[in-house]
Amino acid sequence: MHILVANDDGYLAPGLLALVNALRSLGKVTVIGPEQNHSGASNSLTLSRPLTVNRVNGGERDGFIYINGTPTDCVHIALTGLLESKPDIVVSGINQGENMGEDVLYSGTVAAAIEGVMFGIPAIAFSQVDKGWVGLEDAALIARDIVLQQINHPVDGDLKPGAKPTLLNVNIPNRSYSELQSWRVTRLGNRHHSQNVIMQNNPRGEPIYWIGPPGIAKDATEGTDFHAIQNGQVSITPLQLDLSHLAMREQMKMSNWNKD
């Protein structure tokens, strides 16, 4: 078993190290992460400059590879030339902070997993709900258990020829390992609109803007990722890359949107 591990908090992030240490017992682990924090980078690729690849020598991160680019850059470079063999699974995280609802559209953690799926490899993105790394080792053990579940019990998407491989978004409450044995397969919930930008003045008196905090949960009904987390359960949300609105497509065809 060959596991490619990436993240968006940077190769020095405690969440990455904890995840890697927990996964070592499952097989060969290759780590390729961004040099700097790229939270909110989504699926961006760096096309305006060359990228450099560096390797850590010595210490607890010995052998970690880091790239001066985005999470997507890391997985893309790994799968298009850096690795000698294709990994069996791509694992991203552990992110510091939740990625639920619309967060998945912005998340660099989820984006790294998506890049793996785009190359035909099953992938899982892991996030710890509350920031601060409380209970991180416990979260890493649960992440290992979920990776092992995916390895031992793959879903149909990983077995049928031509089908897209599994893409899972996992959010883990900051609890002890014994309290994290309840898992729920969920759907994405929904947030209220983000809060307003925060305007300040720089030392020259010029206005600068900070993106405001995300909105609170709007749809946290039973079955959503928000509901599972509110009940102290691990949320496992299967995602897909096809954004096509099939019902609207049929409505538009019926409304003569096709023109010859």
Q: 143: closest CA among 26, 226, 256, 62?
A: 26
Average pLDDT over residues 142-169: 84
Q: Residues 142-153: pLDDT tens digits?
A: 999 999 999 998
Q: What is the per-residue pLDDT for 193? A: 81
Q: What is the pLDDT of residue 156?
A: 63
Residue 185 pLDDT > 90, yes or no? Answer: yes
Say how far apart CA 185 and CA 168 lie, in whole Å.
10
Mean pLDDT of 118-136: 96
**Residue corresponding to tokens 């017992």:** 25
Q: Which CATH architecture has domain 2-190+218-254?
A: 3-Layer(aba) Sandwich (3.40)
- The mean per-residue pLDDT over the stretch 161-171 comes to 86
Residue 161: predicted pLDDT: 66
CA-CA distances (angstroms) from residue 1 to 24, 32, 89, 115, 152? 10, 17, 8, 19, 11
pLDDT band at 194 (very low <50, low <70, confident <90, very high): confident
Question: Which pLDDT does position 179 carry in this prediction?
Answer: 95
The pair of structure tokens assigned to 230 is 């509110």
pLDDT band of 133, cuts 50, 70, 90: very high
Q: Where are the domains of the chain?
A: 2-190+218-254
Please tell me which residue, 13 or 192, carries the higher pLDDT value.
13
pLDDT 10s digits, 201-260: 999 999 999 888 887 877 789 999 999 999 999 999 999 999 999 999 999 999 999 988
* pLDDT value for 159: 58
The dihedral built from the CA positions of residue 90, 177, 36 and 206, taken in this order, carries a sign that is: positive
How many of the other CB atoms lie within 10 Å of CB of 150? Answer: 20
- Model confidence over 42-90: pLDDT tens digits? 999 999 999 999 999 999 999 999 999 999 999 999 999 999 999 999 9
Which sign, positive or negative, has the C-alpha torsion 179, 180, 181, 184? positive
State pLDDT tens for residues 82-119. 999 999 999 999 999 999 999 999 999 999 999 999 99
